[in-house]
Structure formats: C-alpha cells, structure tokens
Amino acid sequence: MDVIIRPDAASAEALTAEIIANALRVKPNLTLGLATGATMEKVYQRLADMNKAGALDFSLCKTFNLDEYVGLPAEDRNSYRYYMNYHLFDRINIDKRNTHLEDGTAADLEAECAHYEQLMDEAGGVDLQLLGIGLSGHIGFNEPLSSFSSRTRAVNLTPTTMAQNGPYFDPAKGEKMPNRALTMGVGTILDARKLVMLVTGERKADIIAAALEGPMTSMVSGSAIQLHDDCVVILDEAAAAKLTLKDYYRSAFENDPKWDAYRNI
C-alpha cells in the first residue's frame, strides 16, 4: 500500500483526479468503480472540467458505484444515482447506459444484488475502484462486522452512519434517511484491480489511522484494503494527523519514481 499525504484537501483531490484521469487515458474503456460522499464532489468536478476542456474522454468508460440507499428512486435528490448524475454523469460525455448503481427500489433486493455482481463480471471486473471511508470505518456501506469475503447485498446502517449522513435529509421536506442500503461487499471491492482511497479532514483522522495502521478486522471494514496489492491512499494533513509512520510515507512518495509525475500536482 502507498500512503500519500498532501498539504490540503484541494491538492489531495487534484492528485486523486489525476490518477483516475491517467488510468482512463491509458485504457479508454476503463471500468471505473465510483464512490459518493462529500469527499468526492471536488474530484468529480475536476474530472468534469478535464472532460469539458477536451483533455479526458469518457465515451468508452463504464462505471459501477459502490452503493445505493434502499427505497430511494433515481429522481430522489438523496439517492446516490441522483448524486452521480448531478456531480459527474450529466457533466461528462459518458453514455448513461454504461453507468451502473444498484437499484434500491427493486422488488427483490437479493436478485438485484446478484444481478449487479453479474454485470460487473460481464464487464470484465472493475479496473480502478475509488473509495472513501465513513466514520464507522465503512467502505461502500460495509458496516462493522461485514465479512471480508462479503459480496453485493443489503445491509443495515449503524447509528454512526445514520448520524453522519442524516443531516443531508430534510424532515421539513418529508425526507427520511433509509436505514438500509445495497452495497458492494468487501470481497467485491477487493476484486477490483486497483484501489484508490481518498480521505480528507480532521474528523477522519482516528478512523483512517485504525484502517491503515491498525489490525485488519471486520470491525473496521476499511482495514480490508491492507489485503490489496495495488492500493494507494491519498490523505490531506488533517486526515493524516494520527498516523505513526507519516515520515516514512512522505519519503516514499518523494523517492519512488512511480510518483515522479504526481509530485507537483
């Protein structure tokens, strides 16, 4: 695993966007795994800007998102389909038919999840999976005790996650956060050929230190990325605050030739 610490959130987001953009330039028909959450909004903005400037082409790209709330249709402003259309898909030249999220309104959720796994298989698997981390340690919506071999399925959200994402839902408008979601499993995520995790902000410092430097445990689903042999984690200084090997990560980034093109981003 590589851990890259950038001075601030903006440079961490820029580096993340550049890694994704380069992967797409190398493989125009990339299968991209995408994440939602506030952390990713600026990454998508940067990718959309590159697309608009003619520097990035999404016409052959396929996408699979990590997760979706149970019960929220695409047109609900709190659904992750809505988020993805708003922040990325409606701003780039992607064929919407190549963009996939689980359908949280499906009558048979188990069948929907099996179908989602099948679609990923048919697409040849995910080349690059973008990840954030929740305050509960989740990747996707894999809450504590999610098996490291779990596949796409319906899950129950923890009080921590309800508290983290609850404020996006406005009770005055009749909005209520679902307490269930569909998510790629930890095992599904680990099947991606490359993982790119972006974590910013002081409030994530404890959980990211547990995920990266703590023991691998299903109590912190994010710790499962330690099992992946092609994984980069990009942090800002605030999120990196509780890491014990910061100096080592910094010198590795400065010295490893594979990061030559990325140091001045």
The angle at the Cα of 136, spanning 173 to 4, to the nearest 5 degrees, equals: 110
Compute the distance between CA of residue 233 and CA of residue 33 in angstroms, rounded to an integer. Answer: 15
Q: Which is nearer to ligand GLP, 114 or 135 (CB)?
A: 135
Q: In whole angstroms, how close is the CB of 126 to ligand GLP at the nearest point?
A: 14
Q: In whole angstroms, how close is the CB of 140 to ligand GLP at the nearest point?
A: 5
Fill in the DSSP letter of residue 157: P
| Spatial CB neighbours of 265, under 8 Å, sequence gap ≥ 6 | 11, 14, 15, 18
Tell the residue number behind the tokens 């839902």, with chain if given: 169
Q: Which is nearer to ligand GLP, 83 or 249 (CB)?
A: 83
Compute the distance between CA of residue 13 and CA of residue 236 in angstroms, rounded to an integer. Answer: 9
Q: In whole angstroms, how close is the CB of 237 to ligand GLP at the nearest point?
A: 17
Q: Which is nearer to ligand GLP, 3 or 34 (CB)?
A: 34
Q: Which is nearer to ligand GLP, 175 or 256 (CB)?
A: 175
| Spatial CB neighbours of 187, under 8 Å, sequence gap ≥ 6 | 147, 148, 149, 150, 151
Contacts with ligand GLP, residue ranges (CB under 6 A): 35-39, 66-67, 132-134, 140-141, 161, 165
Compute the distance between CA of residue 41 and CA of residue 119 in angstroms, rounded to an integer. Answer: 26
Q: In whole angstroms, how close is the CB of 35 to ligand GLP at the nearest point?
A: 5
Q: In whole angstroms, how close is the CB of 165 to ligand GLP at the nearest point?
A: 5
Q: Which is nearer to ligand GLP, 32 or 35 (CB)?
A: 35
Q: Which is nearer to ligand GLP, 28 or 73 (CB)?
A: 73
231-236 and 67-69 strand pairing: unpaired
Q: In whole angstroms, how close is the CB of 112 to ligand GLP at the nearest point?
A: 17
Residue 176's φ and ψ, nearest 5 degrees, are -135, 130
